Each structure stands twice: as structure tokens, then as C-alpha cells.
Structure 1
Amino acid sequence: MASKLLIITVFVFDLIAFGLAVAAEQRRSTATLGHDPDSNYNYCVYDSDISTGFGAGAFLFLLISQILIMVASRCFCCGKPLSPGGSRACAVVLFLICWVLFLIAEVCLLAGSVRNAYHTKYRAYLGDRAPSCQTLRKGVFAAGAAFILFTGIISEFYYINYSRARDSFQPYGGRETGVGMGTYK
């Protein structure tokens, strides 16, 4: 039977990661063009960098929840065998989908955090063109949040199906392992 404590813990971690990713999307850095009249050049002025921390926090919470699920299920490949049937087939498919969605979410969060933390140091004198004040594109953290949500749902369904298949396993189909010789005398 699936551990309810583990399911609740993973749900809470995924919920925190989702909230942090949404907050990172809302608070991503913006840049404005500044002007220094003394030196006669333009430069980029960036606001708060809090969304980088939110993105990194979402990355870590999602990573912890995935580790918990994989340790509890022994990463699907270790431990006692699973009984054949629908639960095992679902667990295999959900395991693969879970890892793909997890990797996409982690890449979105990591790339968003790194890109959001990058601030150009470029200056342009008035005769030159304006400096390129690059910022993170809108929607990167939102995509990470969406994939966090999908990963959380799929990983919990994976763990439930894995637990069902593990608990219903009976070696050798539940039959006697030897050759029955009782009728021969």
C-alpha cells in the first residue's frame, strides 16, 4: 500500500515549488535605460533580483520531491519484482513520463534562474546605439511551474501504481514451486 505520509509530503513539496515558480514569474527582473550626464553614456539599470532565488528554491523543492519518490520506489529498478498486470504497465509508463516532465521543469527553472541573474555590464556612449538591456523572456518560469504541476501529479500516480504492483506480487504466481508427485506411488 502506498505511504500516505510520503504522498502528502511530496504533494506539499510540489506545491511549494509551484508557488515559488509562479512568484519567480511575477517578480522577474526588468531593466531600464539609465543616463550618466557626467560621463555622457547610457547604461542598464536592473531592479530586484528576487526571482532568481525563487526559481532556485523551486528547483530544489522539486528535486527533493523527485528524490523522495524515487527512493521510496527504489527508482523502479531495484527491490523486489512487481507483479505483471495493469498496475505494473501503468507504473512503467508513468515512470518514464515523470522523468521527462521532471527534466523539462528543472531545465526551465535552472535556465530561468541563470538567465534572470545575468545582468549586462554594457555601456554605450551617446554617439553609439543604446545598450542592450537583456532580461529573461516572459513565460520561462511559468512553463517551469506548469511542468512542476504535471510532474507532481504524474509522480504521485506513478508511486500509487508502483505500490499496487509491488504489494500484489506473489512469487511463481502463488502456486507450488515443486513438481507435484502426490498421485504417483
Structure 2
Amino acid sequence: MASKLLLITVFIFDLIAFGLAIAAEQRRSTAVVKQDAEINYSYCVYDSDIATGFGVGAFLFLMASQVLVMVASQCFCCGKPLSPGGSRALAVILFIICWVFFFIAEVCLLAGSVRNAYHTKYRTVFSESPTCETLRKGVFAAGAAFTFFTAIVSEFYYISYSKARDSFEPYGRETGVGMGTYK
């Protein structure tokens, strides 16, 4: 039987990661070109950098969620054997999909956080407009989407893993060939 406490904890961590990724998308850094009146050059002025913190928070909560599921399931490769059947086959497929979605989500969140924290120091002289580089729209949103997919798949993975683990019955008879009735 799957641990309900683990499922609730993982769900809460995934929900927090999803919320932080959405908040990061909403609060991405924006830049405005300003002109200096005395020296005649243009430069970029960036607003708050809170989206980077939100992105890193989402990254860490999603990682903690994945670690909890993998420790509880012993990363699918350690621990007692699983019974053959549909639950084990589904657990294997969900395990692979879970890791793919997790990797994509983490890359989006980390790359978005790093790119959002990058502020150009480029200045131009005499009326040329500098290019103020900012994070493209949708990077954190993609991270949020894959966080959501990871949350769903990891929950189903753990449930199918638990079902396959709990239904395993080791072969309990003698390992040799019994010849007692033959004379």
C-alpha cells in the first residue's frame, strides 16, 4: 500500500514548486532604456530580480519532491523485488517518463533563473539604443508545465510501484526436486 503521508507531502512540494514557477513567469525581469543627460549615453535599467528567487525555489521544491519519491521507492532498482505483471510494467514506464519530465522541468527552471539574473551592462554613446537582454517569455511557464506533469507522473509511479511491491510473493517451496514418493 502506498504511503498516504508520502503522497500528500510530495503533492504539497509539487504544488509549491508549480506556484513558484508560475510566480516567476509573472515577475520576470523587464528593462527600460534610460538616457544620461550629462554624458549623452544610454543604458539599461532593470526592475526587481524576484523571479530568479522564485525560479530557484521552484527548482529546489521539485528536486525535494523527486528525492522523496525516489528514496521511498528505492530508485526502483534496490529493495525487494517486484511481482511481475501490469503494475510492474506500468511502474517501469512511469519511472522513465517521470525522470524525463523532471529533467526538462529542472532545466527550464534553472536556465530561466540564471538567464533572468543576467543583466547587461552595455552602454551606447550618442542616441544609439542599447539592447537590454531579458528572459524570453514562457521559459518559467514551460518549467511550470513540466513540474505539473512530473507531479502527476511521480504520484502514479509511486502508486504502481507500491502495488507491484506489495503483491510480490516469494517462492516458498523447496528448491530441490522432491523424489520421496518414488522407490
Same fold (TM over 0.5): yes
* One-letter amino acid of the structure 2 residue matched with residue 66 of structure 1: Q
Question: How high is the sequence identity, in percent, across the aligned residues?
Answer: 79
1:78 counterpart residue number: 78
C-alpha RMSD of matched pairs (Å): 1.1
Deviation at 1:177, TM superposition (A): 3.6
Corresponding residue SS for 2:34: strand
Runs of 4+ in 1 over 4 A off after TM superposition: none
Q: Report the counterpart of residue 133 of structure 2 in structure 1.
A: 134
> Residue in 2 aligned with 1:89?
89
Alignment of 1:116-135 (within 5 A): 116-126=116-126, 129-135=128-134
Alignment of 1:135-154 (within 5 A): 135-154=134-153
Amino acid at match of 1:38: E
- The answer for the alignment partner of 2:170 in structure 1 is 171
What letter corresponds to residue 10 of structure 1 in structure 2?
Answer: V
- Partners in 1 of 2:115 and 2:59 — Cα distance? 14
Q: Distance in 1 between matches of 2:177 and 2:73?
A: 34
Task: Tell me the equivalent position of 1:115.
Answer: 115
Please state whether the residue corresponding to 1:29 is helix, strand or coil.
coil
Find out whether 1:184 has 2:161 as its counterpart.
Answer: no
Q: Which residue in the other structure is 1:41 paired with? A: 41
Q: Which runs of 5+ in 2 are unaligned?
A: none
TM-score (norm 1): 0.95
SS in 1 for 2:178: coil
- Once the two structures are TM-superposed, the CA of residue 175 in structure 1 deviates from its matched residue by 5.0
Distance in 2 (CA, whole Å) between partners of 1:134 and 1:175 is 70
Q: How does 1:29-68 map to 2 (within 5 A)?
A: 29-68=29-68
User: How much has 1:170 moved relative to structure 2?
Assistant: 1.2
Distance 1:178 1:103 in 2: 47
TM-score with structure 2 length normalisation? 0.97
Q: Which segments of 5 or more consecutive residues in structure 1 lack a partner in the other structure? A: none
Q: CA deviation at 1:55?
A: 0.2
Asked if residue 22 in structure 1 is aligned to residue 22 in structure 2, the reply is yes
Deviation at residue 39 of structure 1 after TM alignment: 1.1
User: Helix, strand or coil for the counterpart of 1:44?
Assistant: strand
Instruction: Determine helix, strand or coil for the equivalent of 1:138.
Output: coil
Whole-Å separation in 2 of the counterparts to 1:182 and 1:10: 54
- Match for 1:181: what amino acid? M
